[in-house]
Amino acid sequence: MFEVPEEKANLGSNSVRIGSGAGFAGDRIQPAVDLVREGDLDDLVLECLAERTIALAQQRRRSDPSTGFDSRAEQWFRALLPVALDRGTRIVSNLGAANPLGAGRLAIGIAHELGLLCRVAVVTGDDVLDALDLSTPCLEDGRPLDARGPVVSANAYLGADAITPALATGADLVLTGRVADPSLFLAPLADRLGWDLSDPATAAHGTLVGHLLECGSQLTGGYFADPGHKDVPELARLGYPWADVSANGEALLGKLPGTGGLLDRRTAREQLLYEISDPGAYLTPDVILNLYGVTLTETAPDRVQVTGAAGSSRPDQLKVSVGYQAGHRAEAGISYAGPGCVERARLAGDVVRQRLAALGKELRIDVVGSLSDGAPGEVAQCWLRVAGLTQSLVEAETICHEVESLYTNGPAGGGGVRTHITEVIGILSTLVDRDAVTPTTTVLEAS
């Protein structure tokens, strides 16, 4: 069992402070460092895994077995391990992606290099690709999982019960692959507050806290500002959120004093309903969460109290996210400016469409940008964008070449061609019995 840090115990409070240091893979690192340094956190959670991320990571791992975890893992570890170990803040993160053990070994190597004592617990077992019958119908339309393209990954959404054994090892850093985002928060709360995860009411409280924090700064004024309409103070210095959670499940949301951003009832309720397809039944591996009784109360500037989460028993099965190769997306563009720019861009679009007709691919053609006709003081300019989905890389390159060739074969004055091809990963879903998934904890030590 993990001991509550002394300075917390001296407050006479049995609440836990859990912070959110990343809401997605591309999040900013410095605000997370500030939060750990000055926020007196018990736990910091980094949520870094979007739906497609793990399939892309799996493919990277296939070509190089030492990779497959978050591509910025080294930056996160180097920035956070020294300050988190110094402050006694535990870190829990899914940046293990398709290779949690690889991420764990990287963390140990960095800790060793920096002369830090560090225990890392790695949670595996989410990868169910080898065990999955790919002829199983997918939930989306009942066609087999492998009917659309080669399947490259299958990961079950593990719950908090897969993470708590890792926390119980006394680890300073817990790394996972695919787990449900709110479970990353529920598990450390349950660990510190002695919660029984099989009690839906309790699991609902922690899941709600996790849901509110999992997108990081989207709770504290990120993704909210609209100048002159919904102003957010000092957006450039946006601070990340935390929650003080008591044993009875009540939570007080806050953010680091002196940082920019905004935490109020408006920002909190946008996050409360974010990506919820049924407010009465939000399915997670830990609980079915009901939001209809949730109350958000502003108790002070940048402080919002949360009460009223309710829940019913967790689903019997776990959701599995299956990634398949869905071809390539080609995007290419060219800019035009000055009088007649829109007409020239449209002509260029027509030309490209005619030249690519033989390819037989549906193209999307947009003219975007400042469509001014050149009034005094304004520069009329616009951007022709051509996008298409193809199976093969060669076809994607053909689309890009036809836009590039507009330089000398298109309307007057085109410039600044940009082309971009991305590999497209499709995602399908299925369900597996809990018995079919065996979460495992591995402990690694740097000393």
Partner 1 sequence: MSEVRLYDYAHARAGDKGDTSILSVFPFTDGDYPWLVRELTAERVQQHFGEEFQAEVRRFEVPNVQGLQFVCRQALAGGVTTSLALDTHGKSLSSRLLALSLPSPNAAEAPST
Q: Which residues bind partner 1 (CB under 8 A)?
A: 51-52, 140, 223-224, 229-230, 265-266, 269-280, 291-296, 308, 326, 329, 362-364, 366, 368, 385, 387-389, 424-427
Question: Which of residues 119 and 211 has its CB atom nearest to partner 1 in the complex?
Answer: 211
CB of 59 to partner 1, least distance (A): 15
CB of 226 to partner 1, least distance (A): 8
CB of 169 to partner 1, least distance (A): 34
Q: Does residue 191 sit in helix, strand or coil? A: helix
CB of 172 to partner 1, least distance (A): 33
Residue 131 near residue 436 (C-beta atoms within 8 A): yes
Measure the CA–CA gap between 194 and 1, rounded to whole angstroms: 10
Q: Which residues contact 278 (CB under 8 A, 6 or more apart)?
A: none
Question: Which of residues 60 and 329 has its CB atom nearest to partner 1 in the complex?
Answer: 329
Residue 130, classified by CB atoms within 10 Å of its CB into exposed (0-12), middle (13-18) or buried (19+), is exposed
Question: Which of residues 73 and 396 has its CB atom nearest to partner 1 in the complex?
Answer: 396
CB of 277 to partner 1, least distance (A): 5
Tokens for 93?
Answer: 């993160």
Strands (E), 12-70: 16-22, 43-46
Question: Which of residues 99 and 284 has its CB atom nearest to partner 1 in the complex?
Answer: 284
Q: Does residue 201 sit in helix, strand or coil? A: helix
CB of 295 to partner 1, least distance (A): 6
Question: Which of residues 172 and 181 has its CB atom nearest to partner 1 in the complex?
Answer: 181
Measure the CA–CA gap between 379 and 399, rounded to whole angstroms: 29
Question: Which of residues 242 and 324 has its CB atom nearest to partner 1 in the complex?
Answer: 324
CB of 411 to partner 1, least distance (A): 22
Question: Which of residues 11 and 50 has its CB atom nearest to partner 1 in the complex?
Answer: 50
Measure the CA–CA gap between 91 and 174, rounded to whole angstroms: 6
Helix (H) or strand (E) holding 417: strand 415-433
Closest CA to 248 of 206, 299, 300: 206
CB atoms within 10 A of CB 415: 10
